[in-house]
Structure 1
């Protein structure tokens, strides 16, 4: 009963800085590898010339370290070309300043594994660095992981051009196989600290089906040598008790993103993303400072994002889903956020990017002979009501925005209005104020929106939304 009263009080009053949400102290890795025995990769035959493929030598050092109960795998300064590496229990992969891991530009160096990509379980290339079904693992240091992703960007754009002409925009992201940079999957007590990651072929850091993971002080730079498609920064996917802090991301899609499965397949898996803290972070270029979705099928809840900054980001706070996704996004607290020159500080949509979000098989294809992931994407969500997403109980406090294009763009559905959004101590200057469509019970306290066109926020099809 006391816990229930606490939750009700938190929703009514918000989390005070000296009285955090009850679960906040539980997030992040609870243990880190403690053994200090050093396993120098040079002893296993690595060559730091940036050209010799070192996958087998580095993996041999990792395996030897794990076989001895753990320790630290180290590198001499230099550039090390490698394909997929698989870390194991008790191992710390340490990259000192001056050490650079270079991702192979050949897909043959990334073995296919069973995983989930963009909300669908399927076979996909392993990441450059993989922590799969492990515990007590760390990646640390001031070195760099350069995924060298440009060839994968180019192959994606070529395939997309071909697929769009065939009416297959919805499947191109799944057929254009591109390695992620760092994957944490099915794992617990994982620490990622200090490293720089750049030029991801696809998503940069993907935390999937995992719990108690800390990402601290990561620097992500994916707009080097071009602008890679779908090069998200950090994706937290059907995972729990995750801490992200002190990170600095400049990418070409969502910077910090929470996901939980897509459509029929995501509803089948039905695993939430919950108990997440993202704090003291910065974003530059990218689709969203913090994004919820578009994969919402397993639900996203119990999130605290605090002390975030965005400059030049496309969208600040972004909620996106589709009418075949389902799931509920709720109990979200966003506070102490500063944005400059963003497109839209607050964007909410349940019908995001229809050409990508909805799967329709064009004429000339026989469904029975399609790949398994095509079939999963095409399987209908029934009843259709199960595919309607819900967004509710969102609180935004102490938000300051300058030089935005539009202050708010929020659209619910007649059958699923945006419920119980609370905006406290918000100041936004923008070219236009924007609109709220299908909202219900929005409250505003000390909210100032200064639009250059001197027009107010347009409120349509809503109840209890009064600026």
Structure 2
């Protein structure tokens, strides 16, 4: 009998060989696959301890100035590692500089301020439009070769921002303003990487985001690795997305574990007229070896699709209790093309819908109409942005095509698949290969062309087949 230690080593070797073979195969198939992620890391090791700059680890003292002073001194000396003594540090917005690795050690917790004044307003993009919005808790803006790493915790303490949102939403919905409430109630993101390159986020635990947790915007060659996101602490916050990749390219996300109350891993590229004006795609993205738990979508494309989303490979993913598994969503004012998407080796257990593709998502949120009693000339600038019409209307019609799903294994879902294109924009060329979906009911396909199930089965408990309407070239 083989020695147990030798057997374990043999099994590990087989896994490593298997992963290596898969990586080589993907590199052969996609010539850009190994070009994603940060290509450079802060190389200076000189230490800068925030406590030497006056930071106090009592969880009560506001440490923004002390921590920022350490970051600035580090950057001025050509870079290095900014670190903390063990303890809890209360802070507002911090701005990481080129060459700096903000290292949050295992016994360190950063606590986000619950006072909005500690997050200065700045121009940015939020939920698909450019507007003034609070800075994030941790910001990397216009920088190169920077990092935020360590096995510590960033607890954003976002619950007061959730509560402010729900109060305002209840009021706004009564007035026909559901479409603007998400933009009027300012809530800080936890980490923002914007207009930057060669940035690494690694091994952190992120808790209770006030809004989106990690937002990668207008950037390239970014790595998010080994992040644990736990936003459903003491409630369920609105729009607490896990990782949002927004009009960015050559992005690598791997070994992450997300529990949130909105989309877990999400790709975006702008909303409506403003997104079409900016017209920057999200492209060349790899998401691998990661888990979604509670949340709106294991991997979501949209609903902000205006700049296009293309060249995406996502593989070796798990959904455990997620609302939707593979989710594609847009609206008839978004425009943009989502194409060349490859989703492989995905396991789901206890999800709502395994595959969802639709062009008319959440109308009360997606379509902006100014109710009677408002003067269009006197509303805030971001309202005007949202109210700007796409001209001609045809520019607002999105396109979803060339989506490949291979080896999807679903243990339990409420619905297997729902595809809803439009008369003016059929969902095109969806191929589902070598997959098995156990489900309560099959679902439906409407306005689609070329949906092919190849060596794949859907097993509905209710015995009802997937209904098909206004479509062609649908093959089960």
Give the TM-score normalised by structure 1.
0.96
**Paired residue for 2:464?**
455
1:28 maps to which of 19, 26, 37? 37
Q: What aligned pairs does 1:101-180 form with structure 2 within 5 A after superposition?
A: 101-180=110-189
- Aligned equivalents of 1:20 and 1:190: distance in 2? 26
Deviations 1:219-251 (A, max 9, x none): 000001110000000000000000000000000
Helix, strand or coil for the counterpart of 1:369? Answer: coil
Deviations 1:238-294 (A, max 9, x none): 000000000000000000000000000000000000000000000100000000000
**Paired residue for 2:18?**
none
Deviations 1:359-393 (A, max 9, x none): 00001111111111100000000111100000000
Contact kept, 8 Å, 2:27 with 2:33, in 1: the verdict is no
2:379 pairs with 1:370: yes
**Paired residue for 2:238?**
229
Helix, strand or coil for the counterpart of 1:366? Answer: coil
1:296 maps to which of 275, 298, 305? 305
The alpha carbon displacement at 1:20 in A equals: 3.5
Count matched residues: 453
**Paired residue for 2:15?**
none
2:274 pairs with 1:265: yes
- Aligned equivalents of 2:286 and 2:327: distance in 1? 16
**Paired residue for 1:316?**
325
**Paired residue for 1:379?**
388
Helix, strand or coil for the counterpart of 2:34? Answer: helix
**Paired residue for 1:400?**
409
**Paired residue for 1:3?**
none
- Aligned equivalents of 1:102 and 1:178: distance in 2? 15
2:443 pairs with 1:434: yes
- Aligned equivalents of 1:17 and 1:138: distance in 2? 27
Deviations 1:188-227 (A, max 9, x none): 0000000000100000000000000000000000001110
Helix, strand or coil for the counterpart of 1:343? Answer: strand
1:195 maps to which of 191, 204, 211? 204
- Aligned equivalents of 1:110 and 1:207: distance in 2? 18
Helix, strand or coil for the counterpart of 2:413? Answer: strand
- Aligned equivalents of 1:16 and 1:218: distance in 2? 26
For structure 1, the 5+ residue unaligned runs are: 1-14
2:355 pairs with 1:346: yes
With over 3 angstroms needed to count, the CA separation of the structure-2 counterparts of 1:16 and 1:460, relative to structure 1, is farther
Deviations 1:31-77 (A, max 9, x none): 00000000000100000000000000000000000000000000001
2:194 pairs with 1:185: yes
- Aligned equivalents of 2:25 and 2:37: distance in 1? 21
Q: What aligned pairs does 1:59-78 form with structure 2 within 5 A after superposition?
A: 59-78=68-87
Deviations 1:321-350 (A, max 9, x none): 000000000000000000000000100110
2:283 pairs with 1:241: no
- Aligned equivalents of 2:167 and 2:221: distance in 1? 39
Q: Please provide the CA RMSD for this pair.
A: 0.8
With over 3 angstroms needed to count, the CA separation of the structure-2 counterparts of 1:390 and 1:78, relative to structure 1, is same
**Paired residue for 1:19?**
28
Helix, strand or coil for the counterpart of 1:36? Answer: coil
**Paired residue for 2:259?**
250
**Paired residue for 1:216?**
225
The alpha carbon displacement at 1:17 in A equals: 4.5
- Aligned equivalents of 1:376 and 1:288: distance in 2? 27
Contact kept, 8 Å, 2:27 with 2:34, in 1: the verdict is no
- Aligned equivalents of 1:134 and 1:18: distance in 2? 29
2:292 pairs with 1:283: yes
Helix, strand or coil for the counterpart of 1:151? Answer: helix
- Aligned equivalents of 2:139 and 2:53: distance in 1? 20
- Comparing 421-430 with 436-445, which one deviates more in the overlay? 436-445
Helix, strand or coil for the counterpart of 1:229? Answer: coil
- Aligned equivalents of 2:70 and 2:237: distance in 1? 32
2:455 pairs with 1:446: yes
**Paired residue for 1:6?**
none
